[in-house]
Structure 1
């Protein structure tokens, strides 16, 4: 029934929409059109955001918490990032346009086949091997193209505002290690991914979904224990007031805490972070060392609020539904020869290429899904704050949020539309307003 409805919809669209110059459905033209619509929309939001960042007037709601100097520093940091983001976005848009219009992907696929034949004598029937080689070449190309932007962001913008702590040697060491680890994991994963699609038949989307669920669970288990230690040093949080407070809070809400770690985030950045991981009765909390100087029990209570409200499991379920839908829709396009022809693949229909082309088509939907995910995440942040507030930590949590905002030079004067579309966390003023209740109001006036 669903398949017949889908076929009817496709035939109706095929009759209504014009054919491209090659006589096939104009997938390429549609992708370019949607790509520019999204680009213009996001640049409009960036303009709104930048306009607020140019304001010299400190929001009245923050007068009691943020000095004029702190506000101007945050505004300058935000302007630098917004200007850099505009340049990077325009470059990426031009690159994407050329990649599609100049048939870069067909050229790279042919190149990978030529290299495979010259090195191993393999023909095009070794599609999985060619796909892995194509993946490697595409990764190298993307890394080289994005490298100047990464260097400028780290060693100019972050350096200028006092956040960068890493050397060029550490930067390139991280990049090389990241690619080696990514290749060691990514190439077997890609081979398994393509093999399952090949043998899965018309219902491959279900088997791929199961494969990805298993892969994600494995990665969640091994990443903190075996992969992240390749980049950061983990140490047990020393005995002291902070450790005692965290353990007491975990015991109070029955959080199954087994270990408390500190990692050396300060060797790369001055930004702060914290997270927890683990399954069932084996939870571990990780604090960046940059967080220790102003971290307190109240901020940790917010993170534990995510656990108490089952936010991690809910987001996991949301993501799994999304992934299942993506691969179901892909199963409807995988054999669509017109899609391949439209993008320049006239002689072959490789599975990996089909998935990349489908992602082009799916990108407008992905933008909407990302917005929905951000709205859901913002809701969960409010709920975690409310959890900490209801434990009696309203005033201290508000103080901790302000300290963290100042330390990270977070935006003090956000545009509401830009924030709603892009940000997964509510803005500081929104969170302070939501935290407010009689116990907190007795110490400070409500933020407006």
Structure 2
């Protein structure tokens, strides 16, 4: 871009022939034009051209004034420069002065966004580590409480083994959390994000005008960075900590196979999702947040259909439950509740761990999935009670209520995002020289993280409430005692944490503790 073309493009009406220091006092005009002007100058690397416009050394020094406390010095220098050189303030000189003032304004305003994000990361880290330390205190208890012995019937040796396992597991999580937080802060403060974004053109040779290509390359780099941290941690957690206590059945080869499949799915779906997101974001215009609401809702529905039918079978084998008394009992239960049951499937969960579970999926006709470990360790009556609990979620429409609140969350998120997506100051704060929907989204979600944390706490509270409701449903169908005995067996089989701090439970867990659920079910009897 030629210098003259650039000057014609910005067309700063009202800033030509500026007299004395009028421009300094006219901050409304600066705020109106300044950020866009800075974006254009950085984008087309015009700093050198702008500097060459001005021959006066005092004016040239203004370009390098960056900090807020230099405002008064700026005024004095300009006044001296005007008196000594008697310069004519044409548009070119005005641009330089505008840029000097804008650099000061950046320090006052734009960097606050970066510091807000970093401050929140630090505060959240300290808060979560404090909560984890509270939980470590619980896991340091050596003597088994009497209510655990009476409820579970486990020995002191089993109690100590459980305490040691969760102590080791949580300690390792705290260690990895510290590393991840430190890296995250370094990435933000050292400008790694804009560095990667610029390398999408210089290194990956992507089209600089294609946000999709550059966004895909950026995600790929971030994917590699995160995997380099997560993969070793996951393998250590599984093959060292869990196998030390005989709680993991997964082989090294199987876990590596899972990683390969996950990466292949990433290669297939991420480009589709990114392209769709950018297309909808651009198509939405002023109603961007509404368009994005429908897009996310559509993707949630599609994923609920695609994942259990096509993706989950890549990791586990499913076979239909054979004609047994258990199948008849579950079918009769579904019939009594008008549950649209299509099939009952058994999943080979035992090849990865001893954990047991049951769930259902499907939009209209439903399929119930039972872990093979559930069938092997619970009686038929207890399994039916667990299934009744799951059907309680369906009866009370919990999946749809969760989807409703998810839509509200998305609507609020993208409505607020609409105010920031075109904000030059946000981009400048994190060191980006140009605006883009993709980068704007990434930066906004970082800024929105405090609100997102509040949403997550609300969702956890809602989930715990739903668990109580589902327990009530099973109890009202005469299965309360079987559900209680089934929960105790599942608790022991899954080697669930025996000692839980109340704050830790409130902040992290989506289910009430076993003892809270048993106490509640006892009241219903």
How far is the alpha carbon of 1:96 from its aligned partner?
Answer: 0.7
Instruction: Decide which of 342, 350, 354 is 1:270's aligned counterpart.
Output: 354
Tell me the distance in 2 between the aligned counterparts of 1:423 and 1:438.
23
Residue 222 (structure 1) aligned with residue 306 (structure 2) = yes
Tell me the distance in 1 between the aligned counterparts of 2:354 and 2:165.
14
How far is the alpha carbon of 1:414 from its aligned partner?
Answer: 0.9
Give the TM-score, by structure 2 length: 0.77
Residue 108 (structure 1) aligned with residue 196 (structure 2) = yes
Q: Which residue of 2 aligns with 1:203?
A: 287
Summarize the alignment of residues 14-413 of structure 1 with structure 2, pairs less than 5 Å apart: 21=107, 24-66=110-152, 67=154, 68-117=156-205, 122-280=206-364, 282-295=365-378, 296-345=383-432, 347-413=433-499
Task: Name which one, 1 or 2, has greater alpha-carbon Rg.
Answer: 2
CA contact (8 A) 2:187 2:193 kept: yes
CA contact (8 A) 1:88 1:149 kept: yes
Tell me the distance in 2 between the aligned counterparts of 1:105 and 1:322.
26
How far is the alpha carbon of 1:219 from its aligned partner?
Answer: 1.3
Q: Which residue of 1 aligns with 2:62?
A: none
Structure 1 unaligned blocks of 5 or more: 1-10, 12-17, 440-448
Structure 2 unaligned blocks of 5 or more: 1-31, 33-103
Q: Which moved more, 1:290-299 or 1:145-154?
A: 290-299
Tell me the distance in 2 between the aligned counterparts of 1:240 and 1:400.
20
Q: Deviations over 1:339-375 (max 9, x none)?
A: 1111110x21121111111111111111111111000
Residue 414 (structure 1) aligned with residue 500 (structure 2) = yes
**Greater RCO, 1 or 2 (C-alpha within 8 Å, sep 6+):** 1
Seen in structure 2, the aligned counterparts of structure 1 residues 367 and 19 have a Cα distance that, compared at 3 Å, is farther
Q: Which moved more, 1:286-295 or 1:142-151?
A: 286-295
SS of the counterpart of 1:220?
helix
Tell me the distance in 1 between the aligned counterparts of 2:437 and 2:322.
51
Q: Aligned residue pairs: how many?
A: 417
Q: Which residue of 1 aligns with 2:521?
A: 435
Q: Which moved more, 1:409-418 or 1:66-75?
A: 66-75
CA contact (8 A) 2:176 2:233 kept: yes
Tell me the distance in 2 between the aligned counterparts of 1:20 and 1:247.
66
Give the TM-score, by structure 1 length: 0.90
RMSD of Structure 2 on Structure 1 (CA) = 1.7
SS of the counterpart of 1:63?
helix
Tell me the distance in 2 between the aligned counterparts of 1:194 and 1:438.
51
How far is the alpha carbon of 1:241 from its aligned partner?
Answer: 2.5
CA contact (8 A) 1:70 1:406 kept: no
Seen in structure 2, the aligned counterparts of structure 1 residues 19 and 299 have a Cα distance that, compared at 3 Å, is farther
CA contact (8 A) 1:294 1:400 kept: no
How far is the alpha carbon of 1:23 from its aligned partner?
Answer: 5.7
Moved over 4 A (4+): none
How far is the alpha carbon of 1:72 from its aligned partner?
Answer: 2.2
Q: Which moved more, 1:313-322 or 1:429-438?
A: 429-438
SS of the counterpart of 2:295?
helix
CA contact (8 A) 1:19 1:26 kept: no
Tell me the distance in 2 between the aligned counterparts of 1:338 and 1:359.
16
Seen in structure 2, the aligned counterparts of structure 1 residues 269 and 172 have a Cα distance that, compared at 3 Å, is same
CA contact (8 A) 2:358 2:386 kept: no
